[in-house]
Structure 1
Amino acid sequence: MPAKPVTIKEIAKLLEVSTSTVSRALHDHPSIGLATTQKVKKLAKELQYERNQTAIFFQQGRTYTIGVILPELSEAFFSAAISAIEDTAYKRNYTVLLAQSHDDELKEKQLVEKMKHHRVDGLLVSISKNTSSFEHFNSLSKYNIPVVFFDRIPALDNIHSVSCNLETGTVEAVSYLLKKGHRAIGMINGPDTLFASKQRREGYIKAMLKNRLKFDPSLLVNCDLTEVSTQKALDELLANRRKVTAVVTFNDYVWLYAMQYARKLGIRINEELEYVSYANLPITSYMSCAPLASVEQFPYQQGQKATEILLDLLNSREKEPKQQAYYNVLVESQLVDKQGKDQQLE
């Protein structure tokens, strides 16, 4: 059986002094004589005594732990964000507690409760695709636990958030295809519950109007980001009265589902049907039928900035408990031309 950690109480019993004397001696309190302090420290070292960090944190009113709730840890996008979160948090002596919702609203709510019970000082969240209410996050304010949303953010006003400018990114993506001569451009968007889906839709419409073209709502379809749903969405686009020659997909995973399905239907990729996507996952660069372009959303920068904001909120909480300003950071996207040339958004 592993030995139990030595306590201050046990040291005090062996030296026949009070626990407060041992505690003060270990902290070099001036009220304790030098001889007693040396005896206490000597015995503590011999017994391999270690300070109870949990008790110390409890006294300080913080645990130096931040929670992170993401849809899927396995996605390359979120892996990059996690690296930034850990890099930034560890520099300021914070531990990161990770959890994934698997895009399930109920599990997300359960995870928020678990994070609260683990006494995290603050929370970083990218919401699930199915999250439709946000009371579970609002309730954290009662416990003085700040929340910073990033990437997938709620369509709410009074929140701290970091996200990518997907509207301008979509304008660039659609304009890119228009310049290549496409006119019947479909879009496989994400669930309506995601604010990011609304941003893509608005960007699509703006691109059409910017290029003096009429917006055709039948060319814009939604999916739930799964393979089966993506296939149904592509079927709907291919059945359109207009011959769709290009498709903008919600992200590179949706593009992969749509591309593979199109190939099964005998469609020649990047000849009969061309794609532009989002996220710019590194793996797409090694594929022979990669999307023509992908909108880079800079996950590392998003994760880094979100963590910096959360830690600043925790720091200012002690100095200014009634902090009321909300941080809403928008990271500019970049259209990456897979054919060789990057197009920086203006």
Structure 2
Amino acid sequence: MEELAVAIGVSRPTLSRYFQDPERVSRSSRARIEQGLEQVEYIPNFFATRMNRKTTGIIGVIIPYLNDLFFSKLLEAIERAAMEAGYTVITQCSHFDPLIEARAAETLMSMSVDGALVAPLGNHSDLKVHDRLRARLPFVLVDSRPDNMLDVEFVGTNHMQSTGLAVEYLCRVGAPPVFLAMPRVSFNAMARERAYLAKMEELGHEPRIIGTEPVEPGWLFEEHGQAVLDREFAAGRLIDASVLCVNDRIAIGALRAAATHGLEPGARRNGGLRIMGHDDYPLCPFLTPTLTTVAQDVEAIGRASVQQLVNTIRGEKTPDEQRVKLIDGEIKARESA
């Protein structure tokens, strides 16, 4: 910095202020510095400039999957909101492995990030890891949360509302739905299953849940949905039923099973097979048939989680601010139901 300041012809404090915020120096000094930087191609060391500050300006994010478009959309929303708030995002993926999730948490703590947003694995998570993380820095759970961490700040979908909305919709357009679940490893999946049971009871219908047991080890989404409905259709069951899938990836597998058995979900509006999902996965409008689903407001979830974390980091939380923010879903009626 000393050598660079001399070479450019400004004082070291002026150069330092420029790197913190170019608007803090005069227009003439700013022009001189910018011209000098073009000549030397100088790039400040991000971490070095933060070593003597109380803040790193970094928010750490842990997600469970990289190959899931939902988390791609969520990350985009988080990154945009964080940039607007003046923060840089560092993302770690747990790859559905509790050991990798634990290492990701340790990495964020070692980097002294200002705060962390975590989408946990599900019941595979080592909850002691999350306890250590939130003991060390501001911490918000995003998208899903364990039943024994209900006191933690959380932003996600209102599953009672969104799943209830789906049940009501299917009851309006056809028979009361069967619920196509997944192996009970996901907090969201279990929350939606409970919401399905509650709404069916409220409407006076007999609930029926299928697919809670794994068909093959490691099958959680598309393969699981296809295998469960393939088994049902092969036995002549559910071919004219309404099927509410726990998420869109399960529903994609269910649509594949229907196609292999020559069934056309939603083709007959007053009877026949209907298949509906949950999430509004980006591919839903491009499937055949297009998938009816409940849309999660991913943009709102990402922005609200960043805002909640930033308020905690900056000590700007108000006494009446919600620790838990649940965001409603919206029906996306398409061809499959």
Give the TM-score category using the shorter length: 0.7 to 0.9
List aligned pairs for 1:50-65, cutoff 5 A. Answer: 53-65=46-58
2:52 is paired with a residue whose SS is helix
| 1:214 alignment partner in structure 2 | 206
List aligned pairs for 1:1-346, cutoff 5 A. Answer: 7-8=1-2, 53-143=46-136, 145-155=137-147, 156-183=149-176, 185-217=177-209, 219=210, 221=212, 225-235=220-230, 237-238=232-233, 243=238, 245-271=241-267, 272-291=272-291, 293-316=292-315, 327-338=323-334
Q: Residue by residue, what CA displacement relative to the aligned partner does 1:109-151 show, whole Å, maximum 9, x if unpaired?
A: 12112222232211111122453431112112443x2221111
Which structure would you say has the larger Rg? 1
Q: Residue by residue, what CA displacement relative to the aligned partner does 1:72-120 show, whole Å, maximum 9, x if unpaired?
A: 2343322222221111111122111122222222221121122222322
| 2:21 alignment partner in structure 1 | none
1:315–1:178: structure 2 CA closer, same or farther, 3 Å change rule?
Answer: same
1:166–1:54: structure 2 CA closer, same or farther, 3 Å change rule?
Answer: same
1:296–1:239: structure 2 CA closer, same or farther, 3 Å change rule?
Answer: same
1:304 and 1:267 map into 2 onto residues whose CA distance is 40
Give the letter for the 2:105 counterpart: V
126-135 or 169-178: bigger deviation: 126-135
Could you tell me how far 1:324 is from its partner in structure 2?
12
1:25–1:241: structure 2 CA closer, same or farther, 3 Å change rule?
Answer: closer
2:320 and 2:110 map into 1 onto residues whose CA distance is 25
2:146 is paired with a residue whose SS is coil
TM-score by length of 1: 0.76
Give unpaired runs (5+ residues) of structure 1: 1-6, 16-21, 29-37, 342-346
1:278 is paired with a residue whose SS is coil
1:338–1:266: structure 2 CA closer, same or farther, 3 Å change rule?
Answer: closer
2:261 and 2:335 map into 1 onto residues whose CA distance is 25
Give the letter for the 1:221 counterpart: T
1:99 is paired with a residue whose SS is strand
- How many residue pairs match? The answer is 306
Could you tell me how far 1:280 is from its partner in structure 2?
1.4
8 Å Cα contact 1:105/1:130 also seen in 2: no
Give the letter for the 1:274 counterpart: R
1:221 is paired with a residue whose SS is coil
1:167–1:25: structure 2 CA closer, same or farther, 3 Å change rule?
Answer: closer
1:85 is paired with a residue whose SS is helix
| 1:4 alignment partner in structure 2 | none
- Of all paired residues, the percent bearing the same amino acid is 24
Q: Residue by residue, what CA displacement relative to the aligned partner does 1:164-191 show, whole Å, maximum 9, x if unpaired?
A: 01122112212222222314x3222234
TM-score by length of 2: 0.77
1:301–1:240: structure 2 CA closer, same or farther, 3 Å change rule?
Answer: farther
103-112 or 231-240: bigger deviation: 231-240
1:137 and 1:304 map into 2 onto residues whose CA distance is 22
Give unpaired runs (5+ residues) of structure 2: 18-28
63-72 or 279-288: bigger deviation: 279-288
8 Å Cα contact 1:132/1:193 also seen in 2: no
